[in-house]
Amino acid sequence: MKLGLKVLGVCACAWMNMQSVSAAALAHDDLTAAGAGAANAIVAGADDISAALYNPAGLAWQEGVQALVSSQSNSRGIRGGAAGSGDGNMHDLNAFALSWLPEGGSWGVSGSISTPYIAQTNWNNQFAQAIGRTDIQFQRYSLDTFYRVNNTLGIAAGLDMYDTGISLASNGSSFAASGWSHVGGHIATRWQFMPFWMLGVTYRQGTDVSLSNGAGDTFAMNLPDELSIAVAHDLLDDEMRLELAVKRSTWSSLQDLTVENNGTILQSLPTNLKDTTDASLGLTWFWRERTQLRFGYSYLQGANDLASYQPAIADLTGHKFTSGFGGKMSGMHLDVSVSYAIYPSTTVTGANADSYKDSLLTWMFTLSKKF
């Protein structure tokens, strides 16, 4: 028990001592309704097919075939100064996952499709063509193998590729292209280090994206490395689960959004992003048999430097509040969640000096089934 309290204490101290913690630039962590309802803090505690998207090592105890389909609707309100609002509404997003662990086996495989990075802004009403319109979306395809080492320890490793679509328009120039990223990798573990205590770790390698259109214009960027560390504790004879997750992302690898043609710069929007650390706290209450209620809170930091703020990314510091429920329905499990992120008015300096504020409302549902 003392060891468990020390682990939770270290994570809590790391959380409270951060300057700010983040939703980070292009990142969109709401991957399943079960995760989103608990503020996506389920890296250590995920014990259903959602683990395929948060920590595939958690699948090492889940025998049989499982499948998941998830959908979400997003509504965003973004404003900047006296000139009024920018258009920041995001696409509706979907996710899928499938896993298989033979009965009595130790090895299994899983695959998933999700959209963990997305940015959509349109500042033509405020900045004319100087900032213009940004539409970037990365759909991730992951393939994993996982292994149950013993009754308390599971490990996983896998590969990631991103189907990328980009549309940029600024300074009188436009660019649109789509294609696949280079291959990246990830590793994960889930360890029940003592009764009622679980530790989860997921490391995901960043990868390079390089796109070109028919005119020979090119765009390149690096996605960040991500390290997530989480601890989960079951309370009240397993009636509740409290989870704390911390994620570090190396967004400093993205310093500008630049389109070139044979060395000539056609568009250039400096971003000057900084590395971020996310923190989330989630609570799952197993209210009745096969029924869960979820609540969560995240303290969010933008990756943009306020001294050189880039509205094309439009990432501010704020707070996110989440809730959700799950239960059996017609042989399937239904999870529903809602999250609301508030980014209070913030004054920035630099070339785009002004006061900005933002909000994001996300509704999500997930259907899963064990065969």
5-14, 55-64, 345-354: segment of lowest average pLDDT: 5-14
State the DSSP code for 92: P
- What is the span of the domain harbouring residue 364? 2-370
Cα separation, 307 vs 94, whole angstroms: 35
Cα separation, 3 vs 145, whole angstroms: 30
Region 111-137: mean pLDDT is 84
Q: Compute the chain's Rg from CA coordinates.
A: 21
Per DSSP, helices labelled H in the chain are 2-16, 33-37, 51-54, 124-127
Quote the strand ranges of 16-106, DSSP E: 64-80, 85-86, 93-101
Is residue 126's pLDDT more than 50? yes
Instruction: Tell which residue, 31, 5, 1, has the closest CA to residue 280.
Output: 31
67-81, 147-161, 207-221, 271-285: segment of lowest average pLDDT: 67-81
Q: Give the CATH number of the domain where residue 289 resides.
A: 2.40.160.60
Cα separation, 100 vs 43, whole angstroms: 19
CB-based burial, 67-87: b 16+ in 10 Å, e otherwise? bbbbebebebebbbbeeeebe
Instruction: Tell which residue, 214, 274, 286, 278, has the closest CA to residue 246.
Output: 278
Is residue 185's pLDDT more than 90? yes
Region 241-262: mean pLDDT is 92
pTM given for the model = 0.89
Cα separation, 95 vs 212, whole angstroms: 27
| Cα 354 to chain centroid, rounded | 28
Question: Could you give the number of structural domains in the chain?
Answer: 1
Length of the chain (residues): 371
Cα separation, 265 vs 262, whole angstroms: 8
Percent of the chain with pLDDT over 70: 90
178-182, 265-269, 337-341: segment of lowest average pLDDT: 265-269
The pLDDT value given to residue 128: 63
- Calculate the average pLDDT of the chain: 87
Structure confidence by residue, pLDDT tens digits, 36-77: 999 999 999 998 999 999 999 999 999 999 999 999 998 888
Cα separation, 140 vs 115, whole angstroms: 6
Cα separation, 66 vs 57, whole angstroms: 15
Region 81-107: mean pLDDT is 80
